[in-house]
Amino acid sequence: MLSQSKKEFIEFMMESDVLRFGDFVTKSGRNTPYFVNTGNYKTGRQIAKLAKFYVALIHEECGESFDCMFGPAYKGIPLAAATAAALYNEYGIDKPYFFNRKEEKDHGEGGSLVGYKPKDGDRVIIIEDVITAGTAIRETIPILTGAAKVSVPDMFISVNRCEVGQNPAKTAVMEVMEEFGIKVHAIVTVRDIYEYLKQEDGSGASLERMEKYMQQYCVF
């Protein structure tokens, strides 16, 4: 059942040209009939509204039971910053955030991390856009564990594509849980997007392509 809040989020992504339907190639090299590009959020209103969806989910799943937020470069950077601000504005919860540089800085303060400096024992939550094959998270974890003895209990994303990872019987999200112990929470899933298309355009070409793609790559 597609909830009203999920429907609103899907329509918000479409209005913002973030959720698009057509022919695309994902980071993992798969041809996909839909694409989520959070880089297309480009106004203050959009990023503020997006952050409200994130913090509602964070507050529901974690409350205040974490120490800091990490946004992986590059798309996770504005997501983490906006989420930290919204968490304070909406719930009065003031948590630090930080992000990484793609290239380590060799002058000034140096290093690859910007913002909060994680400490041993910190519980870090990751703020990201999507997970497709789990490639990005495998690049992120060494950055965090290399900075301090932290734990990463939760990760928050816009869309769970529910796609197989390295193991054809498991989704990337399942693998992330097994490999790193991270619970991944998504505002919506590919099934929600499919249900939305079914309600709005029950016989459209996008729906047919989505069905084929889900049969080939998705595990529920």
Q: What positions carry a catalytic annotation?
A: 105, 107
CA distances from 143 to 72, 84, 120, 202 (A): 9, 20, 14, 44
Helix axes 190-200, 205-217, angle to 10 degrees: 160
Q: How far apart are CA 186 and CA 176, in angstroms?
A: 14
CA atoms within 13 A on the CB side of 27: 14
The dihedral built from the CA positions of residue 205, 201, 54 and 215, taken in this order, carries a sign that is negative
> Residue 150 has what DSSP assignment?
-
Nearest to 182 by CA among 156, 148, 143: 156
CA distances from 181 to 31, 141, 152, 175, 176 (A): 29, 11, 8, 9, 7
CA distances from 94 to 135, 158, 186 (A): 30, 22, 22
